[in-house]
Amino acid sequence: MENKHITLGEFIIENQKHFKYSSGELSRLLNSIRLAAKVVNHEVGKAGLVDIIGTVGETNIQGEDQQKLDLFANNVFKTALINREIVCGITSEEEEDFITIQGKTNSHRNKYVVLIDPLDGSSNIDVNVSVGTIFSIYRRSTPMGMPVKKEDFLQKGNEQVAAGYIIYGTSTMLVYTTGHGVNGFTLNPAIGSFYLSHANMRFPENGNTFSINNGNYTHFPQGVKDYLKFCQAEEGNRPYTYRYVGSMVSDFHRNLINGGIYMYPTSSKNPEGKLRLLYECNPMAFLTEQAGGKASDGYIRIMDIKPSTLHQRCPIFCGSRLMVEKAETCMKKYLLEETPTA
């Protein structure tokens, strides 16, 4: 069977074999995310035609302006996961605290918790730039039969069962891993099905694209400045190409396909970093490593960091292995001056 004929649903079922004790819950969970992604994609496609763009005049727990589509996407994913009774808890970038899901019949018997950034890069929606959804799945760490606790969500990234993202762009793609490589599926809008379009996605070992918000240059640590100077120096195969969309999903997706590094370091304005460890850094780190790349905070592996709060922030350098290692070399020259994430 050719890749273009394999649907996401068929692929999920076929790959249940990787989970020795699978009872089908993870497959149903991934299918719920697939369904919610199609609903959000439909609404994103109508932005500008209906009253769904712009802010709602409120801020989220991060202190950021909430976009109308942020709230819409958050509600769609929550509803899809809650109504199907396949998770015991959810936490979202848009929620202050985690949500406990009892279920109508199984009384806290489900295995999985979901952590989600419902609409990454949502401030770009007003200007018709690609946005995305990022998700992460863990097995609960507390005993089944009891309500979930915060500790179920505060697990290291290396405990993830699955992670992925949906990019809503010129075509809509769902890219995910369950720890057995990374595969991408493109939505056929005519029939509403995702088809395997990018099998076994891999980061090139090296790349020539660097993605960072250069407007913060003066606020960056010296190690980051040194790496950017290296990228821009006219020697050998350099200078590299600078590309930055401002939507992590979009920048990451481009670098995954073409090779490159995505960076959101600490700065004097954001001394802990700006991106969320649980909703952005960990899932993207899992995808990066499964695709043969590397992800760190500039000093240590992202997925080895023990979270302490639901909305903890973290710097990130992820992408093609050789590019990340070079950035780490630049950072570590100043190790005593620039304290890494604990």
CATH number at residue 247: 3.40.190.80
Query: Which among 329, 338, 341, 327 has a CA at the least distance from the CA of 210?
Result: 327
> Would you state the structure tokens that stand for residue 247, as one six-digit string?
């939507």
* Range(s) of the domain holding residue 174: 3-198
Higher pLDDT, 3 or 96: 96
Domain shared by 167 and 131, yes or no = yes
| Confidence (pLDDT) at 342 | 45
Structurally, how many domains does the chain consist of?
A: 2
Q: Is 122 annotated as a binding residue?
A: yes
Higher pLDDT, 157 or 28: 157
Higher pLDDT, 10 or 49: 10
User: Among the residues of the chain, which ranges form H helices?
Assistant: 8-14, 25-44, 68-83, 222-232, 248-258, 282-290, 321-332
Distances (CA, A) of 335 to 73, 262, 267: 40, 21, 15
**Domain final residue, candidates 164, 198, 232:** 198
Does residue 339 sit within a domain? Answer: no
Q: Is 121 annotated as a binding residue?
A: yes
Q: Which of 61-70, 101-110, 156-165, 168-177 has the lowest mean pLDDT?
A: 61-70
Relative to beta strand 241-242, strand 65-67 is: unpaired
Q: Is 123 annotated as a binding residue?
A: yes
| Confidence (pLDDT) at 295 | 98
pTM: 0.91
**Domain final residue, candidates 174, 198, 222:** 198
Does residue 342 sit within a domain? Answer: no
| Confidence (pLDDT) at 52 | 44
Q: Is 117 annotated as a binding residue?
A: yes
Q: Is 93 annotated as a binding residue?
A: yes
Q: Is 119 annotated as a binding residue?
A: yes
**Domain final residue, candidates 167, 198, 229:** 198
| Confidence (pLDDT) at 327 | 97
Predicted confidence band at 320 (pLDDT cuts at 50, 70, 90)? very high
Does residue 220 sit within a domain? Answer: yes
Domain shared by 182 and 253, yes or no = no
| Those residues with Cβ within 8 angstroms of residue 19's Cβ, 6 or more apart along the chain or in another chain | 26, 178
Query: In angstroms, rounded to a whole number, what is the distance separating the alpha carbons of residues 280 and 134?
Result: 7
Q: Which of 123-127, 147-151, 205-209 has the lowest mean pLDDT?
A: 123-127
Domain shared by 150 and 216, yes or no = no
Query: In angstroms, rounded to a whole number, what is the distance separating the alpha carbons of residues 89 and 196?
Result: 29
Does residue 251 sit within a domain? Answer: yes
Higher pLDDT, 322 or 51: 322
| Those residues with Cβ within 8 angstroms of residue 164's Cβ, 6 or more apart along the chain or in another chain | 33, 134, 135, 174, 175, 176, 177, 283, 287
| Confidence (pLDDT) at 50 | 47
| Confidence (pLDDT) at 335 | 80
Segment 5-20 shows an average pLDDT of 82
Domain shared by 174 and 298, yes or no = no
Higher pLDDT, 24 or 220: 220
Predicted confidence band at 213 (pLDDT cuts at 50, 70, 90)? very high
Q: Is the dihedral of CA 247, 249, 254, 256 positive or negative?
A: positive
Segment 182-204 shows an average pLDDT of 95
Q: Residue 51 pLDDT more than 50?
A: no
CATH number at residue 60: 3.30.540.10
Q: Is 280 annotated as a binding residue?
A: yes
Segment 294-307 shows an average pLDDT of 97
Domain shared by 253 and 114, yes or no = no
Burial class of residue 57 in the structure, from the number of CB atoms within 10 Å of its CB (0-12 exposed, 13-18 middle, 19+ buried): exposed
